[in-house]
């Protein structure tokens, strides 16, 4: 790999003289001669393009469209194909052939760049002509660049590209997409590729807007649309073989059938499975956290014995919401029980959470059990947590950041589905779990109320469940532990 601005690279043209003048045919020849599979099935082997992938290349390279919209399900090799087409433009489209990649965030955009970088590294002819940086490729012979761009409209201003790829167009910002789209016009030949899977918000997303426009304006040659989906067959079951084949061109090739089987509902929510694996426009964007009957099946009607090693989770409020304390045994399959709950009485607008009482209940728990962690989001409860920590109680903050909640919620869901936890059957905990729905957007997955109404059913114990499960299982799988606290 020739890394760095001072690396010596060859300025000689690529040894590439395809006979065809058709761009897609030239691309196929380029891929066959220079490109290798960067990862996964067939890694390091020749990149053999399938017929359906060549159809996509024709849309991008031969159609003359300024914008190409592509809708495919997860696991269809979108990232690798994007990278291959982008490298062809980068190496073969002459002077200043700038390629840019955008996505919902820089990490996601980096996936396409990472595949392209790896393809360059695996090709002696390409790597000796290209300088490789952390987030871009540079071709000195033609002053061309291949770059991952920050996922913000401001960063996209002033672009001059021959090819722009907007990945995950089902969740990308519309403001960003329009700035990238409006950058065209500076080149006789430039194309914007918007590719992705339908996102959870069906009312406003770039991918579906392109789909709708293409349907309503079939004569507009400036936009090319192609999709693989089982749209129109939403009445079929999620495991319908007919729908799987319609939506997944890579099925039984480099998309393995057992992976789809392993993710069938109820292991994942049905609406999410339909969007991600069948490209169906499932209208249910929020559903109950757990499928019917799952929580009831985890009941083991025994309290946590005194002296057990536990974590205590606190979800606190000031006045309107419930304040809850939940116990969880430190185990790879923890057992849960309610420690205490404080809730505003109906019609009492003067209610305030008795903070001192909550703090005393936590102290009492430290006398009754071996408490290894007291877990809480510090929002509005910083003073109480500091006071408890000053008493040498094992306080651990659990900020409710999207990335952390997404991971913890996913782990909890998997544990419930696979019977990797139990609970004492407390009706308050059952009610809060039943009231919780999953909010799934571009920031990730997390628990939420069904509405923001003051009368909406509470989910505070469910929020405690997410935190307690995350920390109890972490404690059980890591040998190094903080000193447990007991006031016996």
How large is the average pLDDT for residues 44-57?
Answer: 94
In the chain, the N- to C-terminal Cα span, in Å, equals: 63
| Phi, psi (rounded to 5 degrees) for 423 | -145, 165
Q: Is the pLDDT of residue 452 over 60?
A: no
* Residue 364: partners with Cβ closer than 8 Å, 6 or more residues away: none
Distance, in Å, from the CA atom of 215 to the CA atom of 339, rounded to the nearest integer, reads 56
Residue 114, pLDDT score: 87
Name the helix (H) or strand (E) containing 164.
Answer: strand 163-167
How large is the average pLDDT for residues 134-140?
Answer: 91
Residue 106, pLDDT score: 66
Residue 124, pLDDT score: 94
Q: At 64, is the pLDDT very low, low, confident or very high (cuts 50, 70, 90)?
A: very high
- For the chain, give the longest Cα–Cα distance: 85
Cβ atoms of 337 and 327 closer than 8 Å: yes
Record the pTM. 0.61
CA angle 480, 415, 259 (to 5 degrees): 110
In the chain, count H helices and then E strands: 16, 16
Question: CB count, 10 Å around CB of 362?
Answer: 23
What domains can be seen in the chain, in order of their start residue? 23-227 (3.40.50.300), 230-283 (no CATH), 296-477 (3.30.420.240)
Q: Is the pLDDT of residue 371 over 80?
A: yes
Residue 250, pLDDT score: 94
Cβ atoms of 376 and 315 closer than 8 Å: yes
Q: Smallest Cα–Cα separation from 353: which of 388, 325, 316?
A: 316
Distance, in Å, from the CA atom of 428 to the CA atom of 352, rounded to the nearest integer, reads 20
Per-residue model confidence as pLDDT tens digits over 65-83: 999 999 999 989 888 999 9
How large is the average pLDDT for residues 324-334?
Answer: 96
Per-residue model confidence as pLDDT tens digits over 249-273: 999 999 999 989 988 887 777 888 8
Q: Smallest Cα–Cα separation from 173: which of 109, 122, 225?
A: 109
Q: Radius of gyration over alpha carbons of the chain, in Å?
A: 27
**What sign has the CA pseudo-torsion 168, 172, 176, 181?**
positive
Lowest mean pLDDT among 24-38, 103-117, 283-297: 283-297
Q: At 1, is the pLDDT very low, low, confident or very high (cuts 50, 70, 90)?
A: very low
* Residues of the chain above pLDDT 90, percent: 57
How large is the average pLDDT for residues 276-297?
Answer: 77
Distance, in Å, from the CA atom of 279 to the CA atom of 304, rounded to the nearest integer, reads 45
Q: Which two tokens stand for residue 26?
A: 């030239």
Q: Which two tokens stand for residue 52?
A: 């359906």
Query: What helix, strand, coil percent values describe the chain, rounded to 5?
Result: 35, 20, 45
Residue 7, pLDDT score: 57
Distance, in Å, from the CA atom of 251 to the CA atom of 230, rounded to the nearest integer, reads 14
Which residues are bridge partners to 139 per DSSP?
144
């Amino acid at each position: 790999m020739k890394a760095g601005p001072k690396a010596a690279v060859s300025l000689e043209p690529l040894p590439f003289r395809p006979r065809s003048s058709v761009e897609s045919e030239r691309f196929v020849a380029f891929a066959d001669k220079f490109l290798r599979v960067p990862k996964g099935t067939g890694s390091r082997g020749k990149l053999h393009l399938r017929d359906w992938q060549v159809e996509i290349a024709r849309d991008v390279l031969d159609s003359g469209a300024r914008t190409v919209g592509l809708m495919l399900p997860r696991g269809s090799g979108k990232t690798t194909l994007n990278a291959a087409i982008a490298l062809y433009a980068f190496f073969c489209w002459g002077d200043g052939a700038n390629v840019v990649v955008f996505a919902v965030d820089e990490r996601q955009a980096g996936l396409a760049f990472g595949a392209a970088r790896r393809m360059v590294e695996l090709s002696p002819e390409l790597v000796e002509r290209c300088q490789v940086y952390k987030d871009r490729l540079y071709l000195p012979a033609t002053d061309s660049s291949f770059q991952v761009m920050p996922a913000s409209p401001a960063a996209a201003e002033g672009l001059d590209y021959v090819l722009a790829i907007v990945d995950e167009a089902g969740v990308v910002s519309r403001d960003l997409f329009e700035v990238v789209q409006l950058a065209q016009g500076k080149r006789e030949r430039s194309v914007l590729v918007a590719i992705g899977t339908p996102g959870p918000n069906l009312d406003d997303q770039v991918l579906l807007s392109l789909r709708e426009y293409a349907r309503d304006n079939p004569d507009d040659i400036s936009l090319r649309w192609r999709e693989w989906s089982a749209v129109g067959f939403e009445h079929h079951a999620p495991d319908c073989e007919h729908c799987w084949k319609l939506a997944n061109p890579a099925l039984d090739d480099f998309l393995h059938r057992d992976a789809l089987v392993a993710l069938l509902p109820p292991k994942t929510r049905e609406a999410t499975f339909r969007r991600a694996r069948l490209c169906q426009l499932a209208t249910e964007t929020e559903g109950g956290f757990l499928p019917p009957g799952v929580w009831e099946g985890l009941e083991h009607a025994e309290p946590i014995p005194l002296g057990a090693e536990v974590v205590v989770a606190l979800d606190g409020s000031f006045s309107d919401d419930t304040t809850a304390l939940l116990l969880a045994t430190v185990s790879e399959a923890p057992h849960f029980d309610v420690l205490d709950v404080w809730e505003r009485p109906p019609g009492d607008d003067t209610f305030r959470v008795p903070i001192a009482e909550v703090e005393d209940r936590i102290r009492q728990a430290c006398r009754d059990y071996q408490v290894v962690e007291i877990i809480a989001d510090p929002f509005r409860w910083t003073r109480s947590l500091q006071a408890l920590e000053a008493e040498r109680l094992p306080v651990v903050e659990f900020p409710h950041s999207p990335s952390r909640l997404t991971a913890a919620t996913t782990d909890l869901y998997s544990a419930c589905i696979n019977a990797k936890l139990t609970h004492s059957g407390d009706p308050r905990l059952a009610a809060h779990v039943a009231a919780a729905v999953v909010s799934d957007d571009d920031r990730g997955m997390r628990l939420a109320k069904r509405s923001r109404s003051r009368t909406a059913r509470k989910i505070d114990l469910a929020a405690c469940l997410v935190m307690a499960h995350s920390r109890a299982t972490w404690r059980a799988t890591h040998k190094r532990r903080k000193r447990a606290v007991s006031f016996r």
